[in-house]
Amino acid sequence: MMKSTYTETLKKVMKYLKNHRRLLWLSLFFALVTTAAALYVPIVVGRAIDDIKGAGSVDFDAIKKKLIAVMVLVFISAVSNWFMNLVNNRLTYHTIHDIRKDAIEKLQKLPMNYFDTTQTGDVVSRVISDVDLFADGLLLGFSKLFTSIITVIGTLFFLLMISPLICGLVVVLTPVSFLIAGFIAKNTHSMFIATSRTNAEETAYIDEMIGNAKLVRAYGYEDRAALHFSEINTRLKKYAMRATFFSSLVNPSTRFLNNIIYALVGLLGAFACVKGNMSIGELTVVLSYSTQYAKPFNEISGVITELTGALACAGRIFEVLEAEEEIPDAVDAKVLENPSGNVEIENVFFSYDKSRKLIENFSLSVKPGQMIAIVGPTGCGKTTFINLLMRFYDVDDGKISVDDEEIRRLTRKSLRAGYGMVLQDTWLASGTIKENIAMGRPDATMEEIVAAAKSAYADGFIRRLPEGYDTYLSEGGGSLSAGQKQLICIARIMLAKPSMLILDEATSSIDTRTELKIQAAFSKLMEGRTSFIVAHRLSTIQNADKIVVMKDGHILETGSHNELLAKGGFYHELFNAQFNTGN
């Protein structure tokens, strides 16, 4: 996707803000009241000064009334400002809530190749860190932008009423401040993008090192990890310092110009007073307005700096929101209900990288209730075959059918619900053991959950835990052993009892004694169900109805264990290599 420009990103942000128009208008209203009340204070003060005509000629009653009016105006401005900030907070966090909600929903719709080619830490950084930074910039923008703009308009109006000449001078010199702020903001946007991307790279690397802490220490990688992190951190410091340095030039540059404007206003005002064209009180008002007029530009320059960084973060968020989604289900897609397990794979071609062939002319016929074992060397396409069955990827050519319906004509949800899958890499969500077992059947009773755990031989160790089935697990299973986590995943499938099964070396982390019991439980579960077993240990699939031997994306042989041994082909070689029979 093309990188969003500053303007394009701002337009996308405005689309989100439009969803909360009421809050936007309320913020503008309170900004108007806050600024109008604050701007009228100098006029009242100026009139109070003009009530001091000289020694012995002071209208104290009039001054008293004007001071009371000043206090009232200041109170109104303060209260209105408090309400404005309250509304701005709600507007900002409603917008951020919408963006994060859309981001999470979008992640559910992205194809698997997005996650295969994108670092997890980078995605987390975009949805969490970048959104937080965007929120900070957006909040500052709302807090300052409206009041600053209204202040500029208001001061020009009052200056025009008092002295058109001074107003004209201010208007002529004002665009220079905008040009300075705009030039610096435009040139620092790329620096903020570089900072944001490097920050994401650092987050991803930290996530990788923490997630693989045992391997880092086992291979003595600590020093190299620290060195690589230092290199990323140094780049982040360089980009951040550049962005901060150049963006910080905005404020002193505009202040310098504003001070020149203030001096010229004072000089012209003094000459006007000498000529009798302006009172001392009006001069005070003009000088006050010239200061107030300059202040918003200093604030706007700070806002521009923050918004530049915020929009750089927003651009990265929108890259996720605009990523190409998984091809949606066909409009007339059917729901797969209670499949019998008849699977037909006809002349399938597929590769992740279209320049490198993987699976070619793959055909397989599976009858309901059959146990199909898939074996072959690493990289032969076993896991890819499973990905195609579950429609995590679509075939390049050919077709896969379940119960005589091509899977592209079925809804993905119903297709995947028809399979129960236990992988070699276990996954447990944050939650109780009970919730993890019931993931596929959240409506299951406690009795059914316990029965499934017993079938998976997990009930014993679960009951020995401090809270039993209510023991809370952190993401990944916490302190449970690899075997215990695998047993919980097996209990999950025992409870769901799907129509078809996919087992990818499901007992690889379990001791031999327990494995024999689990195999017996699986045999019972697989009765009448079509089962696909990705096997590395050939001893576990000798009873399979059909063994599919793969190599380089092709099916070399199919048959039962005894038939394939008798052929003396590639399976025979694999079996002898694994068991070293010497035959």
Q: Are 323 and 105 in contact (CB under 8 A)?
A: no
Of 421, 567, 439, 404, residue with least CA distance to 503: 421
Q: Is pLDDT at 583 greater than 60 in this prediction?
A: no
- pLDDT band of 299, cuts 50, 70, 90: low
Q: What is the pLDDT of residue 6?
A: 65
pLDDT tens figures, 444-498: 899 999 999 988 888 988 999 888 999 988 766 667 877 788 888 888 888 888 8
Q: What is the pLDDT of residue 298?
A: 61
Q: What is the mean pLDDT of residues 78-90?
A: 89
Alpha-carbon torsion (274, 279, 280, 284), positive or negative: negative
Q: In terms of C-beta density within 10 A (0-12 exposed, 13-18 middle, 19 or more buried), how is residue 510 classed?
A: buried
Phi then psi for 313, rounded to 5 degrees? -65, -40
- pLDDT band of 75, cuts 50, 70, 90: very high
Q: What is the pLDDT of residue 56?
A: 64
Cα 410 off chain centre by: 29
Q: Please tell me the pTM assigned to this model.
A: 0.64
Measured at the alpha carbon of residue 57, what is the angle toward residues 53 and 60, in degrees to the nearest 5?
Answer: 95
Q: What is the mean pLDDT of residues 528-544?
A: 81
Q: What is the mean pLDDT of residues 125-136?
A: 81
Q: Between 135 and 447, where is the model more confident? A: 447
pLDDT tens figures, 410-421: 998 888 888 888
Of 437, 440, 434, 493, residue with least CA distance to 469: 434
- pLDDT band of 181, cuts 50, 70, 90: low
Pick the most confident of 343-347, 374-378, 496-500, 502-506.
343-347
Q: Between 348 and 182, where is the model more confident? A: 348
- CATH topology of 6-321 equal to that of 428-497? no
pLDDT tens figures, 351-385: 887 777 788 888 888 898 888 888 888 777 788 88
Bridge partners, residue 502, by sequence: 421, 532
Q: Between 115 and 349, where is the model more confident? A: 349
Q: What is the mean pLDDT of residues 24-45?
A: 85
Q: Is pLDDT at 291 greater than 70 in this prediction?
A: yes
Pick the most confident of 189-193, 468-472, 477-481, 542-546.
468-472
CA distance 374 to 364: 11
pLDDT tens figures, 419-436: 888 777 777 878 889 998
Q: What is the pLDDT of residue 2?
A: 38
Q: What is the pLDDT of residue 434?
A: 92
Lowest mean pLDDT among 42-51, 96-105, 212-221, 531-540: 212-221
Q: What is the pLDDT of residue 302?
A: 64
**Does the 6-321 domain belong in CATH 3.30.70.260?**
no
Q: What is the pLDDT of residue 301?
A: 61
List the end-to-end C-alpha distance of the chain, in Å, as a whole number: 57
Name the percent of the chain lying above pLDDT 90.
Answer: 5
Residue ranges of alpha helices (H) inside 409-526 are 412-417, 433-437, 446-455, 459-463, 482-496, 512-526
Mean pLDDT of the residues in the chain: 80
pLDDT tens figures, 236-273: 888 888 877 877 777 677 777 777 777 777 777 777 77
- pLDDT band of 175, cuts 50, 70, 90: low
Q: Is pLDDT at 538 greater than 60 in this prediction?
A: yes
Of 464, 470, 428, residue with least CA distance to 449: 470
CA distance 506 to 422: 6
Q: Between 530 and 199, where is the model more confident? A: 530
Q: Between 173 and 460, where is the model more confident? A: 460
Single-letter residue type at 542: Q
Q: Is pLDDT at 143 greater than 80 in this prediction?
A: no
CA distance 235 to 229: 10
Q: Could you tell me the CA-to-CA distances from 83 to 30, 86, 87 in Å, in that order?
A: 7, 5, 6
Where exactly are the structural domains of the chain?
A: 6-321, 428-497
CA distance 127 to 314: 10
CA distance 11 to 25: 18
**Does the 428-497 domain belong in CATH 3.90.550.10?**
no
- pLDDT band of 5, cuts 50, 70, 90: low
Q: Between 76 and 250, where is the model more confident? A: 76
Q: What is the mean pLDDT of residues 169-188?
A: 70
Q: Is pLDDT at 297 greater than 70 in this prediction?
A: no
Q: What is the pLDDT of residue 400?
A: 92
Q: Is pLDDT at 317 greater than 80 in this prediction?
A: yes
**What does the block give as tokens for 442?**
């959240």
Q: Is pLDDT at 53 greater than 70 in this prediction?
A: no
- pLDDT band of 213, cuts 50, 70, 90: confident
Q: What is the mean pLDDT of residues 210-217?
A: 72
